[in-house]
Amino acid sequence: MSILKDIWNKEKDGNKVAQRSFMRYAIVITVVFALFMFLKKDSVLRWIQAGYTLSRQQKQIELYKEQNNELDRRIRTMRSDRDTLETFAREEFFFCAPGEDVYITE
C-alpha cells in the first residue's frame, strides 16, 4: 500500500513527473472503468449470470431431446407391435378385453 501512497505524493515526483503523473491518470481511469463495468445495467456480473443460465438451459434442452427420442422409439415400437401396444394400454390405462375383470391394487 505504501507504493500507492507514494504515487499520490507529488513531493516525491522529482525527475519522474511525467511517469508518476501517467500512473495517477492510469489508476483513476482503471478504477472508473471497473466501476462502470460492474455498476451499469449490462455489467460483467450480468454477463456471467447469463452465461450460467444459458449453459443450464442447453443441458435441459439436451435432456428433453433425449426424452423425445425415447418417446419416439416407444411410439414406433407400439405402432409396429400390437402386443406391445396392448400391454401398454392394459398397464397404463387399465384397459381390458370384453368379458375380463380388472382389479386395481395399490
> What pLDDT is stored for residue 83 in this prediction?
86
For residues 100 and 86, the answer to whether their CB atoms sit within 8 Å is no
Cell representation of residue 64: 428433453
pTM, full prediction: 0.51
**How far is it, in rounded angstroms, from Cα 94 to Cα 104?**
8
Q: For the chain, where are the alpha helices, taking DSSP H only? A: 2-8, 17-39, 44-80, 82-93
**How far is it, in rounded angstroms, from Cα 53 to Cα 47?**
10
- List pLDDT tens digits, range 59-94: 999 999 999 999 999 999 888 988 888 888 888 888
**How far is it, in rounded angstroms, from Cα 25 to Cα 42?**
25
